[in-house]
């Protein structure tokens, strides 16, 4: 009997130890998750001037060149869609490795000098504290506001990745020739919805595009194919003048065309109005009118610009959460162009 009592007591002790271990593990996991989450005001005590410094440098950049606003928005997008929002798009190529920024889809990226200027000041103010990935997220928000979009709060706490490979842009960045199904697949793989996709496409209301991004709509690969019938004929004529076939086929620098010819530097809903008028520049832009669900969202934004501004800001926050590195993952680069 005594032996049985001791056995039952030992079993209870072992069960208690197991349960205690489980509780400790759960608490540890919860703590790790809490630390891993991005948060608004992340630098309030770590580096109080962080967001102000970024805002000042973005303001300088955009005042000197209004097109920089679109460039900074695009930088953040292209960063997040390859390896997540980890600042890897900022890394320079090195011996034996071609970085993301030198991949063909990124050949026209701009705004790097604004990020560099902000990083230099931040390292002087708070050495080794503010990540390049967070600078990109702040800069995109501030650029949007300067172009006329809605200001929004940016959750921060991202850390920087140390790998950047040009080949990884393939299949991760949506091509300008994509249809809605392909766009949904790419955005969905990043945890974003179709509604996010349509809203984020509205970033094309500012900035420029290379003629090579849409010359297939102007100059078909075979004579029998004809020009793109979904494009407004007068707009098509204008584009063929701006992008002569000889220029699109040469190895020289590609001509640039405004994504929105009406208000190219103003963040508004003209992008969606252009699509409704069959004046979407890229195939992927005009494709939004071919699907009933995305078309309804497009038309909705033209009728209610305020809903677009709200949805775009929300989608930017969601995009900024893609595969982020937090806690002890990654690093804080002191120079956004190099590892270390």
Average pLDDT, rounded, for the chain: 90
Exposed/middle/buried for residue 228 (C-beta within 10 Å: 0-12, 13-18, 19+)? middle
Q: What 8-state DSSP symbol labels residue 208?
A: E
pLDDT, position 28: 36
Q: Per-residue pLDDT averaged across 130-156, rounded?
A: 97
pLDDT, position 24: 34
Give the end-to-end CA distance of the chain in Å, rounded to a whole number. 67
CA dist., res. 313 & res. 315, Å (int): 5
* Of 19-28, 263-272, 304-313, the least confident: 19-28
Task: Report the relative pairing of strands 256-258 and 208-210 from DSSP bridges.
Answer: antiparallel
In contact, 85 and 158? CB cutoff 8 Å: yes
CA dist., res. 275 & res. 94, Å (int): 41
Active site residues: 78
pLDDT, position 292: 97
pLDDT in tens, 8-54: 555 444 544 444 443 334 333 333 343 358 999 999 999 999 999 99
pLDDT, position 221: 74
pLDDT in tens, 238-259: 999 999 987 766 566 788 999 9
CA dist., res. 166 & res. 238, Å (int): 34
* Of 98-102, 140-144, 226-230, the least confident: 226-230
Contacts of 133 (CB under 8 A, 6+ apart): 79, 85, 86, 87, 158, 159, 160, 161, 324, 325
Residue 111 phi/psi, 5-degree rounding, is 105, 0
pLDDT, position 33: 41
pTM metric for this prediction? 0.87
pLDDT at 152 over 60: yes
Q: Per-residue pLDDT averaged across 55-74, rounded?
A: 97
């Amino acid at each position: 009997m005594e032996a049985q009592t001791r056995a039952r007591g030992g079993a209870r002790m072992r069960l208690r130890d197991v349960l205690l271990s489980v509780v400790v593990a759960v608490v540890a996991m919860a703590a790790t998750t809490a630390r891993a989450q991005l948060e608004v005001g992340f630098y309030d005590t770590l580096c109080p001037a962080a967001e102000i410094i970024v805002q000042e440098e973005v303001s300088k950049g955009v005042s000197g060149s209004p097109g920089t606003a679109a460039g900074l928005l695009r930088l953040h997008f292209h960063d997040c869609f390859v390896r997540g929002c980890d600042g890897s798009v900022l890394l320079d190529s090195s011996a034996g490795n071609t970085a993301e920024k030198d991949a063909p889809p990124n050949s026209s990226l701009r705004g790097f000098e604004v990020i560099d200027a902000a990083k230099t000041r931040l390292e002087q103010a708070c050495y080794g504290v503010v990540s390049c990935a967070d600078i990109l997220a702040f800069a995109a928000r501030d650029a949007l506001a300067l172009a006329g979009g809605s200001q929004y709060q940016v959750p921060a706490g991202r850390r920087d990745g140390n790998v950047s490979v040009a080949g990884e842009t393939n299949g991760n960045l949506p091509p300008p020739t994509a249809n809605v199904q392909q766009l949904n697949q790419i955005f969905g793989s990043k945890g974003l919805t179709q509604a996010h996709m349509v809203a984020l496409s509205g970033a094309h209301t500012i900035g420029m595009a290379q003629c090579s991004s849409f010359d297939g709509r102007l100059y078909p690969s075979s004579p029998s194919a004809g020009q793109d019938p979904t494009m407004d004929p007068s707009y098509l004529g204008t584009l063929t003048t701006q992008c002569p076939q000889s220029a699109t086929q040469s190895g020289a620098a590609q001509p640039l065309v405004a994504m929105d010819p009406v208000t190219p530097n103003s963040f508004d809903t003209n992008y969606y109005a252009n699509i409704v008028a069959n004046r979407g520049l890229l195939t992927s832009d005009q494709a939004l009118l071919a699907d009933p669900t995305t078309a309804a969202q497009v038309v909705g934004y033209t009728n209610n610009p305020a809903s677009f501004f709200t949805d775009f800001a929300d989608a930017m926050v969601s995009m900024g959460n893609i595969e982020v590195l937090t806690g002890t993952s990654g690093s804080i680069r002191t120079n956004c162009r190099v590892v270390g």
